[in-house]
């Protein structure tokens, strides 16, 4: 039987190497590439046969969620499994919306990670039960795409004018989006709204 061919995408070299070493102990799994960002992961899937792509969420150049979107839309048949430190419920929802088949956290025991890869390869889902439960409790992301964009810019303290310039919007439109996001998140100001959205994985 052919082994399950896996690519590992993580911006931390030690994490990549550690995951590869653990998975290479499994007789039916073979790590065919280790890469440091989402763009390299997409390239690896395009250039060789990959059954399952293991993707971190937060990576440079192209994050794991966008890489998942590109890989699943590319028609290669490669399935995506998010393996991340960030067990934010919003990340799970966004990962599934992007086309991911699974979502586990990095402290998952090696045998459970290997089993998640096998499940995903077989066309099933593999989702960390604690994250799934938290996602149900937290509920859906209440923010529109524009509100998410505006809050993302606001995380580094940018003024409405600077956010407007970055997103090619008017300052008045930005203030409206910020006001709406503050109302939906039930907080006092844009900084608190951005912090809450980050904690929940909404942005």
Each residue's pLDDT, cut to its tens digit, for the chain (203 residues) gives 799 999 999 999 999 999 999 999 999 999 999 999 999 999 999 999 999 999 999 999 999 999 999 999 998 999 999 998 877 778 888 899 899 999 999 888 999 999 999 999 999 999 988 877 776 666 677 888 899 999 989 888 888 899 999 999 998 999 999 989 888 888 888 888 888 888 777 88
**From the CA atom positions of the chain, what is the Rg in Å?**
18
User: Please, what is the end-to-end C-alpha distance for the chain in angstroms?
Assistant: 41
**pTM listed for this prediction:** 0.71
What pLDDT was estimated at residue 198?
A: 83
Share of the chain above pLDDT 90, in %: 60
What pLDDT was estimated at residue 142?
A: 84
Give the number of other CB atoms < 10 A from CB of residue 22.
Answer: 16
Structural domains in the chain plus CATH codes: 4-138 (3.40.50.2300), 145-199 (1.10.10.10)
């Amino acid at each position: 039987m052919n082994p399950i061919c896996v690519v590992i995408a993580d911006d931390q070299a030690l994490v990549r190497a550690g995951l590869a070493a653990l998975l290479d102990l499994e007789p039916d799994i073979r790590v065919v590439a280790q890469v440091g960002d989402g763009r390299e992961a997409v390239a690896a899937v395009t250039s060789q046969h990959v059954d399952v792509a293991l993707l971190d969420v937060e990576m440079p150049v192209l994050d794991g969620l966008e890489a998942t979107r590109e890989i699943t839309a590319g028609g290669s048949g490669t399935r995506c499994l998010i393996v991340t430190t960030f067990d934010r419920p919003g990340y799970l929802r966004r990962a599934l919306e992007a086309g991911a088949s699974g979502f586990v956290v990095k402290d998952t025991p090696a045998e459970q990670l290997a089993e998640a890869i096998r499940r995903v390869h077989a066309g099933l889902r593999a989702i960390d039960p604690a994250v799934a439960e938290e996602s149900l409790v937290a509920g859906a992301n209440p923010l529109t795409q524009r509100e998410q964009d505006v809050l993302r810019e606001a995380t580094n303290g940018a003024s409405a004018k600077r956010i407007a310039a970055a997103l090619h919007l008017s300052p008045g439109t930005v203030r409206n989006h910020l006001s709406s996001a503050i109302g939906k998140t039930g907080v006092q100001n844009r900084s608190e709204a951005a912090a809450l959205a980050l904690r929940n994985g909404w942005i």
